[in-house]
Amino acid sequence: MLRAVEIAANGPARGVNPQVGCVILAADGSILAEGWHRGAGTPHAEVDALSKLAAGEANGATAVVTLEPCNHTGLTGPCSEALIAAGVSRVVYGVSDPGDHSSGGAARLREAGVDVAGGVLLAETTARLGDWLPAARLKRPVVTVKWASSLDGRAAAADGTSQWITGPEARADVHARRAASDAIGVGTGTVLADDPSLSARFADGGLYETQPIPVVFGARETPTDAAIRRGTHEPIFATGGDLAAELRALHARGIRSLFIEGGPTLASAFIAAGLADEVLVYLAPAILGGPRTAIGDVGITTIDDALRLSIESVETLGDDLLVVATLKKKP
């Protein structure tokens, strides 16, 4: 299974489908073939591995795969049927497939008389699936809401100036997290006020090899010469107003992770809607006062209704603090 996890990394880290690896073993435990998934529309890992064997060579073999074999026909056929047809006698997998349409492969294999064992090296196989797995379970991207503020919770001074509240180390961390995200989201207010490029950059201005897709939330028109229109990816304009529906649409496009950069109105809307899976707060050792708070109204009118957080980590970045937290589930 560790070898299957290793070769799964050969597949694309982004897109609709996950990174999956498969190793096919002979009865004596020797490796007959290996395979991995190369992206949407290409053979899944199990079929890729089987394609390297001669007819009948997989009879009585064991297939070790990081994700439960699928049981549906999409751009490719069901892997469960391919394994059955090849004569595989045992299938060992890590993570159960959470898909409404793709799950059920283990049950189909058992129905056909194949010995099946799941949950093997669950931590390692789960880690390889990355954001794909929670996004598949949620049926939307995993959402991180980020803001930077002074210690008194202000995102800007009274005159609107905000560059820079935090220092270079914190800003570098933000850009690394941008590069690791499939998409980066802002509201139309931020686009109109700041004209951000929403790119992931190094301190010297150079671009990361991987860039997030810009997503603009809101109904206001974005100028044709806006900086986001000149980046690596064409921006997506989420104009519908229903955040949950917009997230489902983004997931359908293969976006697994969404990094919300602001401004306060958009960040507050995601938090109020219960759609913030992770919160990143960069705190600068400064006091600004004034009305420009980092977060606006989230629908809380009394202390009993406060949204409580679980602090996952606190890290020092230069002079600043990074607090990583998740929203607690209400009983």
Residue 176 CB neighbours (<10 A) = 12
- For CATH 3.40.430.10, the residue range(s) in the chain are 137-327
Q: What gap in Å lies between CA 199 and CA 218, rounded to an integer?
A: 20
Q: What is the pLDDT of residue 107?
A: 94
Q: Is 72 annotated as a binding residue?
A: no
CB of 146 within 8 A of CB of 173?
no
* Concatenated DSSP letters of 75-142: SS--HHHHHHHHT--EEEEEEPP--TTT--HHHHHHHTT-EEE--TTHHHHHHHHTTHHHHHHHTS-E
Mean pLDDT of the chain: 91
Residue 259: strand pairing partners: 144, 184
Q: What is the pLDDT of residue 331?
A: 59
Q: Percent of the chain, pLDDT > 90?
A: 66
* pTM, entire model: 0.84
Residue 189 C-alpha from the chain's centroid? 25
Q: What gap in Å lies between CA 249 and CA 238, rounded to an integer?
A: 9
Which range scores top for mean pLDDT: 11-15, 132-136, 228-232, 245-249? 245-249
Q: Is 310 annotated as a binding residue?
A: no
Q: What gap in Å lies between CA 114 and CA 16, rounded to an integer?
A: 29
Three-class DSSP labels, 202-264: CCCCCECCCCCEEEEECCCCCCCCCHHHHCCCCCEEECCCCHHHHHHHHHHCCCCEEEEEECH
Q: Is 36 annotated as a binding residue?
A: no
Q: What is the pLDDT of residue 1?
A: 96
pLDDT in tens, 226-281: 999 988 899 999 998 899 999 999 998 989 999 998 788 899 999 999 999 999 99
The model's confidence at residue 138, banded by pLDDT at 50, 70 and 90, is very high
Q: Which fold has domain 1-129?
A: Cytidine Deaminase; domain 2 (3.40.140)
Question: In the sheet where 236-238 sits, what is the strand order?
Answer: 236-238, 213-217, 183-187, 257-262, 142-150, 278-284, 320-327, 309-317
pLDDT in tens, 164-175: 889 999 999 999
Q: Is 284 annotated as a binding residue?
A: no
Q: Is 22 annotated as a binding residue?
A: no
Q: Which fold has domain 137-327?
A: Dihydrofolate Reductase, subunit A (3.40.430)
Sign of the C-alpha dihedral, residues 39, 42, 46, 50? negative
Q: Is 198 annotated as a binding residue?
A: yes
Longest dimension (CA), the chain: 75
CB of 189 within 8 A of CB of 196?
no
Look up residue 111 and give its two tokens.
């129905």
CA-based R_g, the chain, Å: 23
**Does the active-site annotation cover 234?**
no
Q: Is 201 annotated as a binding residue?
A: yes
Q: What is the pLDDT of residue 35?
A: 96
Look up residue 226 and give its two tokens.
């806006």
Q: Is 44 annotated as a binding residue?
A: yes
Q: Provide the CB-side half-sphere exposure for 116 (13 A, CA).
A: 23
Q: Is 286 annotated as a binding residue?
A: no
Q: What is the pLDDT of residue 205?
A: 87
Q: What is the pLDDT of residue 330?
A: 63
- Is pLDDT at 318 greater than 90 in this prediction? yes
Q: Percent of the chain, pLDDT > 70?
A: 99
List the single range of 122-126, 187-191, 316-320 with lowest mean pLDDT.
Answer: 187-191
Q: Is 162 annotated as a binding residue?
A: yes
- For CATH 3.40.140.10, the residue range(s) in the chain are 1-129
Q: What is the pLDDT of residue 14?
A: 80
59 or 100, which is more confident? 59
Residue 144: strand pairing partners: 259, 278
Sign of the C-alpha dihedral, residues 152, 156, 161, 164? positive
pLDDT in tens, 60-88: 999 999 999 998 887 778 999 999 999 99
Q: Which of 6, 34, 46, 111 is catalytic?
A: 46
